[in-house]
A and B are shown apart, each in its own frame.
Chain A
Amino acid sequence: MDILSFLRESTGRFGPVGYEQALAQWLKTQFEPYCDEVYVDAFSNVVAIKKPTRKAAAQKADGATAPPKIMFVAHMDEVALLVTEILKDGSLRVRGMGGVDPKIIPAATVTVHTETGDLFGVIGAKPPHLQAADDQKKSVKWDDLYIDLGMDAEKVKKTVNIGDMVTFHGELIELLNGRAASKTMDDRACIAVMLDAAERLQKIQHTAEVVFLCSTQEEVGGFGAMTGAYSVYPDIGFILDVTFASYPGAKPDSTVPGDAPAPVTGPFIQHKLLQKLKDTAKSNNIKINMELSSRGTGTDTDEVEIARDGVPCVLVGLPLSYMHTTVETVQLDAIKECGRLAAAFAADIEEGWDKDLWI
């Protein structure tokens, strides 16, 4: 799989939180070459199943014993904007869908998705020439922002509806040293990790049934992962989400270096499973940087681990700079290393993996 091509195409596809239906159908086609069964569920989650390629001893004796089931999760939805008001002059007032910083919006270009088609829009910015002396010291607020459609107000009122989705422009560009910037690397880059892992598992024998879940509605609370985990009912959850690469001025302990997978430690993580993950990393010479989530992880992990009667989980962060902007930047090598770690971990899951899990 060409990671860069997948990122270029997937990050440009429409998938605001709650509006993932078409994206899910496309993602299904991406997993089909590597999986035995792929379906889209009622919540628009994509569930891709890779059956075991190595039989556990217990299964040989007793065909009824199911193999261990590990579920990888990365979310497909993206943060976006939503039309909340059509002003008299035909410009549109907006609000964020998911955690969008209004400070990144001035002079951005966007697509307004209407019932009758997509419209190009520009977010207005007051020119320096007309600003009062202290204007630039004021932070931008949602109410200062509007979309210009370059259209007559009457026509806008006929075309645009309150609640129409607005997505950002921000096509992928390659930077130096194998880095790439794009909108929506969060979390399509982790879907790339899952595809990479699926491809690797074509060549590695595994006892576990491996399920890849592309979840919906993460940006508003992990709802796709909640329902997906219910129906898949895995033995192990392995969540992949982007995490914070270092940023000047950020507290040093709130970020990780950008070049390697960052497994998370903390009360929401099953600590023996985490130890197993570290062992896998070590035995495969995969560099990792540990990250701490002292309480909730703010990822699908928080929902997956309390699905049904509980699912032991690990979480691996893919470091990303400038999260929730249109220039989210990742290192391609880090994606590959996450893929290598995920595949190796899945292959290491053997029958009896949970023997010492809790004591």
Chain B
Amino acid sequence: MDLKTLCELNALGGREEAVRKVVYDICVDKLGKDAVSFDGMGSVIAMRKAKNTSLPRVMFAAHMDEIGLIAVSAGDDGLINFRAAGSVDPRVLLSKRVMVGYGEDAVPGVIGYMPIHLQSSDEYHAAPTIEKLSVDIGAKDKAEAESKAPKGTHITFATKYTEFGDGFVCAKALDDRVGVYNMLRLLDAEYDGELTLAFTSREEVGLRGSKTAGFRVQPDIAIVLEGTTANDLGDTEDRFKVCIPGQGPCVSFMDLSSIADHELFKLVLKAGQAESVPHQIKKYVAGGNDAGAIQRAGAGCKTVVISVPCRNIHSPSSVCSLQDVDNQYHLAQATLKHLMKG
């Protein structure tokens, strides 16, 4: 399964069907029907049995959902008002294309803005708020808009996956389809202990599916594969440069949702060095992810996060290095290898 296909699937928190279907089919194909299940939140849990039960039971987790928007009402002019599903800066929404709804019911739309010519000086200098933005699907009136986009309809970014520059890609939903993509590769990982791949739901709306997946699996070790925020270009002060795309996946000692297990954190770094997999330490404590929920699910477990640095994360046009994506897989595999060594 390629990253392009995964990124172009549309799945906001709570409506991960499109990704779930792809992931489920691949897992069943690899491991058989009995090895794959859903938890009560719609996470897909694929478990590979241990050949050696003395090895730690390892769970990888990556979330299937992405950030986007949700329709809330329509105006008499047929424009659709919306709210954010997940953390979205309204300033990245102006002049963008979206898909309203899923599958065959979906209709394309655009988010416009008041022409610069009509803005007063105050309006020109004011940041747009989400309440002032709307999606235009071409509907004639309120009734038509509400028939196409009833309250609660999901709205996703319509960004084409584009590779550019020297090994970079621009796409929506790199956070966290990169993790989903690498977990599908890890179905074939070299590891003799019990290995679970948890494709979680509803991360972007509060780390929900990972809590239940973590509870169901109760692993000894959980390794979260994520996309994380890079902020390295332009006038960014050095201290805010969280990580640098192209310099390898990021290993986090801590973020706003969890503190990594220190021994596990060191083991990942050691594995990366020993296997010559480029990597970097996340320099800034920001963001949060499934590790926070998994770590404290049930009786708790050791966690660490390996993330692909993404520029413009949570925007329609996130950017990452394809080499970093590949090395996220290699660092995960190197970590498993070192866990086998004991």
Interface residues of A (CB under 8 A from B): 87, 89, 91, 99-101, 103-109, 119-131, 136-140, 143-146, 148-152, 155, 170, 173-179, 181, 244, 246-251, 254-255, 298, 321-327, 329
> Which among A145, A150, A176, A177 has the highest number of chain B CB atoms within 10 Å?
A150
Within 8 A of A (CB), among B297-342: 311-317, 319, 321
Q: Please tell me if the beta carbons of A254 and B118 are within 8 angstroms of each other in the complex.
A: yes
Q: Please tell me if the beta carbons of A175 and B77 are within 8 angstroms of each other in the complex.
A: no
Known contacts A103-B128, A129-B287, A175-B136: A89-B233 contact under CB 8 Å: yes
Q: Which listed residue, A99, A106, A324, touches B91 by the CB 8 Å rule?
A: A106
CA distance A104 to B168 in the complex (A): 23
Q: List 12 A-B contacts (CB under 8 A).
A: A89-B232, A103-B94, A105-B95, A122-B164, A127-B231, A150-B165, A150-B168, A175-B138, A177-B140, A244-B118, A326-B96, A329-B136
Q: Please tell me if the beta carbons of A244 and B117 are within 8 angstroms of each other in the complex.
A: yes
Q: Please tell me if the beta carbons of B313 and A176 are within 8 angstroms of each other in the complex.
A: no
Q: Please tell me if the beta carbons of B312 and A124 are within 8 angstroms of each other in the complex.
A: yes
* Neighbouring B residues of A143 by C-beta, 8 Å: 235
* Neighbouring A residues of B312 by C-beta, 8 Å: 107, 122, 124-125, 127, 148
What per-residue 1/0 map shows which CB atoms of B213-230 lie under 8 Å from chain A? 000000000000000010
Q: Please tell me if the beta carbons of B118 and A150 are within 8 angstroms of each other in the complex.
A: no
CA distance A248 to B144 in the complex (A): 18
A-B pairs under 8 A by CB, number: 216
Known contacts A109-B170, A139-B126, A175-B110: A91-B233 contact under CB 8 Å: yes
Q: Which listed residue, B114, B140, B286, B315, touches A130 by the CB 8 Å rule?
A: B286
Q: Which listed residue, B117, B162, B165, B284, touches A323 by the CB 8 Å rule?
A: B117
Q: Please tell me if the beta carbons of B313 and A129 are within 8 angstroms of each other in the complex.
A: yes
Known contacts A146-B234, A321-B112: A176-B92 contact under CB 8 Å: no
With CB as the reference atom, state the residue of chain A lying closest to B229.
A127
* Neighbouring A residues of B287 by C-beta, 8 Å: 129
CA distance A321 to B139 in the complex (A): 13
* Neighbouring B residues of A177 by C-beta, 8 Å: 138-140, 144
Known contacts A121-B164, A155-B166, A329-B136: A99-B89 contact under CB 8 Å: no
With CB as the reference atom, state the residue of chain A lying closest to B167.
A150
CA distance A181 to B338 in the complex (A): 54
With CB as the reference atom, state the residue of chain B lying closest to A149.
B165
What per-residue 1/0 map shows which CB atoms of B81-123 lie under 8 Å from chain A? 0000001111110111100000000011111111111110000
> Which among B134, B287, B319 has the highest number of chain A CB atoms within 10 Å?
B319
Q: Is B132 an interface residue (CB 8 A)?
A: yes
With CB as the reference atom, state the residue of chain A lying closest to B310.
A127
With CB as the reference atom, state the residue of chain B lying closest to A152.
B166
